[in-house]
Amino acid sequence: MRKTDIEKHVRGESQFIDDINVPEGTLYAAAFDSKIAHGEILNINVDEAKSIFGVRAILTSKDIPGINQVGGIIPDETLFAEGEVHFVGEPIGIVVADSYDIARKAVNKIKIDYEKLPAVFDPREAFEKGELIMPPRIFSFGNVDEIWDKCDIIVEGKVETGGQEHIYLETQGSVAIPEEGGKIKLISATQSPTTVQRTVARILGVEMNNIEVDVLRLGGAFGGKEDQATHWAAMAALAAHKLNKPVKLVLSRMDDIRMTGKRHPYSSDYKIGLTSEGKILAFEATYFQNAGAFADLSPAILDRTLFHATNSYYIPNVKTTGISCKTNLPPNTAFRGFGGPQGKFVIEAAIYKAAEKMGMDASEIQRKNLLKDDKTFYYGQLVENSYAEKCWTKAEEKYDLKKLKQEVEDFNRKNYQFKKGIAVMPICFGISFTNTFLNQASALVHVYTDGSIGVSTAAVEMGQGVNEKIKIVVSRTFSVSQERIRIETTNTTRVANTSATAASSGADLNGNAAILACKNILDRLLKVAAEELKVSDTSELEIRNEVLYNQGIKTNLIWDELIKLAYIKRINLSSQASYATPNINFDREKNTGSPFAYHVYGTGITTVTVDCLRGTYTIDSVKVVHDFGKSLNPVIDIGQVEGGIAQGIGWLTVEEVSHSDEGKLLSNSLSTYKIPDIYSAAKEVEVSFLEDTENQYGPFNSKAIGEPPLMYGISAYFAILNAMKAFRPEKDFEISAPLTPEKVLMNLYN
């Protein structure tokens, strides 16, 4: 019996880049990088490094035969620094050696002289200096300027959210194997095989068909391997190309954390206006995105921030300005939620502060402003199938929100040192790449003569269960056992021109493509069957559990026989098909349109306890009602919710990216950058399904799941703030995430 992925995982048999057997004679590469945040490279001295026994080559920008450029959206980023360095950790070159130990030893012997230039780390400062990645983006709806006078309450403020390091447990890496005729085969841990293929071709100055990228699985990615897996593959490919030897490059944890980008820190200003009843009339916000030194995916991430600026609420007058600021930090990049969480956090902060001013519970304001059908999102898309209120109501009832709040109040009355806090977080997250053209995928399905099936798609498995989902989709479409189906590696020679597996859309896009490919084969099979059974019309035929039925009556024709028959009759048992999400569009000039196929909704309630003596806290529970559509696999989907919540809570509580004044990363290892452990994750997570929702865009009415649940974590921040408020009711706390124990204590006592 074929083992599923998880069966291999629990036996330690699933392979990651560093586990794959490499060919005899493979060389090992390690990158060397800038030690300063901004400056000119005056001299690179590799003499001592080169003299170490076992060092085969030291490569820098001069050794690149093609174009030294890895930028995607904007071509502003070199693979290896040329002349100028822009952040601590910017790759300058690689050492290729007989072993990692030798390569790393040589890296430490390379001496680089710099002339330092002024560096900027703060996005607002970069903005003032005119250091922008692109011109500001402005979304506008209604007219905020005219409405302020009509508001009973207006609150303005500033909000900070920190970066977040991905800490995919498998670090970045790639193996490059030279093949005949100058072809390079890359085994890469990337979410975006085509990006790697395209970029490597550009670096080497060859056509894309000379580069094959193969992806087996990723040991976690969370967006961190969408654009930033490319560099390491390109370096390995360059070395393989130069030396005509297989080259492996896997980053050590410290190299990975230092050299790669993170979730974007944002500094934002908001202004919110409400009626005295709590109806939001206007919202205005400016988001200063800390993009780091190069564009990477920042423009798209900023767009998603703007798209999610109003979260689950209908607000008639909105104006948002997004400013992508260039700083001397590693280029920040995709991270689960892709700017959405940063946007949602600001509106939630605004509501929190408005509620505080009005003496109301924030959840009252949240509840009153939830999206309803037939309204429009502020970027112009019609609200359809809004489950915002349904999720909220179900959560309120199922978890007895009133009682939960009462319990918190009772606890706080009886306890002085320990205080509890509770907060609610509705979510609404748009599904589709906001760059419409990316919403395409293809699949290649082979049925072999023994009836087994091989499926290739553009989807990359990174723990999110997309392979299992595609297997389910194929099994249902053919109505055959899942055990017949193998999901193949993601490979650019089988499935070309892939969009990244990102934007929560992997299962939707690739599942739909797989369905189309399967249907092509199925149609042909049914024709064969019709001929065999001498039936004129295939519409009466169907396969159920591997047996052919005619007009609902079982026949003797089973799957294996049917396949053999088709083969003998020289019928094509393979199909390629592609899928493009229908009905989506966005006008990037006017900033209006319907960029999303659909939205995912949910409501989460978080309860916490704060030790007001020590400033520490525990996350007691997170209770969620989530709109899954018709889940393809509830175990996978619930796992995505539980895992997303932990990451969201980590982002806003203990995960603190910190730098020295010179821009050197201080939180540069797992001992200095702490992600949630089993104790700091929520003690209890309860997830229930919103039943019976429909979704024509998801395979078999399923819905995308990857990113949205992360945003339930936002309620942990406000729950902690509420607990602090219970201890110090008179204080006006700053809104600055992450809310580390240090910030809790300093806010309580200073």
Partner 1 sequence: MKEEITFILNNDFVSVNIDSAIVLLDFIRKQKHLTGTKEGCKEGDCGACTVLICNLQNGKLGYQTVNSCLLPLGNVNNTHIVTIEGLNSNNLSNIQTEFIKEGASQCGFCTPGFIVSLSGYLINNQVYDTDAALNAIAGNICRCTGYISVKRAINNVLNKLKSTNHNDSDRISFLIENGILPDYFSTVAERLIKLKTEKSYGQHNGAKYIIAGGTDLYVQKPDELLEQEIIFIKNKKLSYINVDGNICSVGATATFEMINNSKIFQNHFPRLKNYFDLIASLPIRNSATVGGNIINASPIGDLTIFFLALNASVVLSNGVKKRKIILKDFYKGYKQLNINNDEFLEFVEFQLPSRDSRFNFEKVSKRTHLDIASVNSAMCIETNNDIISRIHISAGGVAPIPLYLENTSRFLLGKKITKDTLFESLPVIQSEISPINDIRGSAEYKRLLLNQLYKAHFIELFPELINVEELI
Binders of partner 1 in range 635-654 (CB under 8 A): 635-636, 638-639, 642-647, 654
6 lies in the binding site for partner 1 (CB under 8 A): yes
167 lies in the binding site for partner 1 (CB under 8 A): yes
667 lies in the binding site for partner 1 (CB under 8 A): yes
> At which residue do the structure tokens 């040991």 appear?
219
The minimum distance between CB 333 and partner 1, in angstroms, equals 16
Q: Which range, of 14-22, 154-162, 284-292, 529-537, touches partner 1 by CB under 8 A?
A: 14-22
Is the Cβ of residue 241 or residue 336 nearer to partner 1 in the bound state? Answer: 336
Give me the residues paired with residue 156 across strands. Answer: 271
Catalytic site residue 212? no
Neighbours of 401 (CB within 10 A): 19
Q: Which range, of 72-80, 133-141, 166-174, 516-524, touches partner 1 by CB under 8 A?
A: 166-174
Of these, 144, 507, 557, 685, which contacts partner 1 (CB under 8 A)? 685
Of these, 674, 688, 701, 736, which contacts partner 1 (CB under 8 A)? 674
CB under 8 A, 24+ apart: contacts of 360-363: 360/278, 361/405, 362/423, 362/424, 362/718, 363/401, 363/423, 363/424
For residue 596, give Cα distances in angstroms to 377, 474, 502, 581.
11, 25, 14, 9
Is the Cβ of residue 151 or residue 425 nearer to partner 1 in the bound state? Answer: 425
Q: Which range, of 388-396, 401-409, 472-480, 664-672, touches partner 1 by CB under 8 A?
A: 664-672
Phi, psi dihedrals of residue 362, rounded to the nearest 5°: -55, -35
Neighbours of 67 (CB within 10 A): 15
Phi, psi dihedrals of residue 39, rounded to the nearest 5°: 170, 180
- How far, in Å, CA of 651 to CA of 342, rounded? 11
Q: Check the CA dihedral 276-278-282-284 and report its sign.
A: positive
Q: Which range, of 314-322, 477-485, 599-607, 678-686, touches partner 1 by CB under 8 A?
A: 678-686
CB under 8 A, 24+ apart: contacts of 202-207: 202/66, 202/67, 202/69, 203/64, 203/65, 203/66, 203/67, 203/68, 203/69, 203/70, 203/79, 203/234, 203/237, 203/238, 204/65, 204/66, 204/237, 204/238, 204/241, 205/65, 205/66, 205/67, 206/66, 206/182
Is the Cβ of residue 5 or residue 356 nearer to partner 1 in the bound state? Answer: 5
The minimum distance between CB 31 and partner 1, in angstroms, equals 17
Q: Scan residues 16-35 and list those touching partner 1 (CB under 8 A).
A: 16, 18-19, 21
Is the Cβ of residue 521 or residue 638 nearer to partner 1 in the bound state? Answer: 638
The one catalytic residue among 707, 730, 734, 742: 707
Contact 252, 232 (CB under 8 A): no
- How far, in Å, CA of 570 to CA of 593, rounded? 47
670 lies in the binding site for partner 1 (CB under 8 A): yes
678 lies in the binding site for partner 1 (CB under 8 A): yes
459 lies in the binding site for partner 1 (CB under 8 A): no
Contact 177, 243 (CB under 8 A): no
Is the Cβ of residue 288 or residue 335 nearer to partner 1 in the bound state? Answer: 335
Is the Cβ of residue 325 or residue 682 nearer to partner 1 in the bound state? Answer: 682
> At which residue do the structure tokens 């003797």 appear?
556
Of these, 219, 339, 340, 708, which contacts partner 1 (CB under 8 A)? 219
Q: Scan residues 276-335 and list those touching partner 1 (CB under 8 A).
A: none
9 lies in the binding site for partner 1 (CB under 8 A): yes
Helix (H) or strand (E) holding 71: none
Of these, 91, 93, 178, 463, which contacts partner 1 (CB under 8 A)? 463
Of these, 672, 694, 731, 732, which contacts partner 1 (CB under 8 A)? 672
- With vertex at residue 285, the alpha carbon angle to CA 281 and CA 288, rounded to the nearest 5 degrees, is 170
Is the Cβ of residue 144 or residue 654 nearer to partner 1 in the bound state? Answer: 654
Of these, 51, 128, 666, 732, which contacts partner 1 (CB under 8 A)? 666
Q: How far apart are the first and last CA of the chain?
A: 63
Q: Can you list the positions of beta strands (E) in 98-152?
A: 111-116, 137-141
Give me the residues paired with residue 111 across strands. Answer: 45
- How far, in Å, CA of 600 to CA of 384, rounded? 11
Q: Which range, of 51-59, 197-205, 563-571, 611-619, touches partner 1 by CB under 8 A?
A: 611-619
The minimum distance between CB 639 and partner 1, in angstroms, equals 4
- How far, in Å, CA of 579 to CA of 499, rounded? 12
Is the Cβ of residue 2 or residue 183 nearer to partner 1 in the bound state? Answer: 2
DSSP secondary structure string for all residues of 303-320: HHHHHTTTTTB--SEEEE
The minimum distance between CB 171 and partner 1, in angstroms, equals 8
Is the Cβ of residue 18 or residue 82 nearer to partner 1 in the bound state? Answer: 18
218 lies in the binding site for partner 1 (CB under 8 A): yes
397: which 2 tokens? Answer: 């009832």
Q: Which range, of 397-405, 484-492, 508-516, 673-681, touches partner 1 by CB under 8 A?
A: 673-681
Site string for partner 1, 117-156 (x = CB under 8 A): ----------------------------------------
274: which 2 tokens? Answer: 């409400």
Neighbouring residues of 126: CB distance < 8 A, sequence distance ≥ 6: 120, 132, 290, 325, 326, 327
Q: Scan residues 237-256 and list those touching partner 1 (CB under 8 A).
A: 252-253
14 lies in the binding site for partner 1 (CB under 8 A): yes
737 lies in the binding site for partner 1 (CB under 8 A): no
Closest CA to 242 of 209, 205, 213, 272: 205
Q: Scan residues 409-428 and list those touching partner 1 (CB under 8 A).
A: 416-417
The minimum distance between CB 247 and partner 1, in angstroms, equals 17
The minimum distance between CB 165 and partner 1, in angstroms, equals 10
The minimum distance between CB 38 and partner 1, in angstroms, equals 23
Of these, 37, 159, 462, 487, which contacts partner 1 (CB under 8 A)? 462
Size of the site for partner 1 (CB under 8 A): 79
Q: Is 452 helix (H, G, I), strand (E, B) or coil?
A: coil
- How far, in Å, CA of 530 to CA of 563, rounded? 13
Q: Is 700 helix (H, G, I), strand (E, B) or coil?
A: helix
Q: Which range, of 234-242, 272-280, 499-507, 612-620, touches partner 1 by CB under 8 A?
A: 612-620
The minimum distance between CB 10 and partner 1, in angstroms, equals 4
Cite the DSSP H helix spans in 625-713. 634-652
Burial (CB count within 10 angstroms: exposed 0-12, middle 13-18, buried 19+), residue 155? buried
Contact 610, 722 (CB under 8 A): no
Q: Which range, of 69-77, 134-142, 548-556, 734-742, touches partner 1 by CB under 8 A?
A: 734-742
5 lies in the binding site for partner 1 (CB under 8 A): yes
Of these, 2, 62, 613, 731, which contacts partner 1 (CB under 8 A)? 613
Burial (CB count within 10 angstroms: exposed 0-12, middle 13-18, buried 19+), residue 580? middle
- How far, in Å, CA of 276 to CA of 486, rounded? 59
Site string for partner 1, 712-731 (x = CB under 8 A): --------------------
Of these, 40, 47, 48, 101, which contacts partner 1 (CB under 8 A)? 101
Q: Which range, of 127-135, 268-276, 426-434, 458-466, touches partner 1 by CB under 8 A?
A: 458-466
Catalytic residue IDs: 707
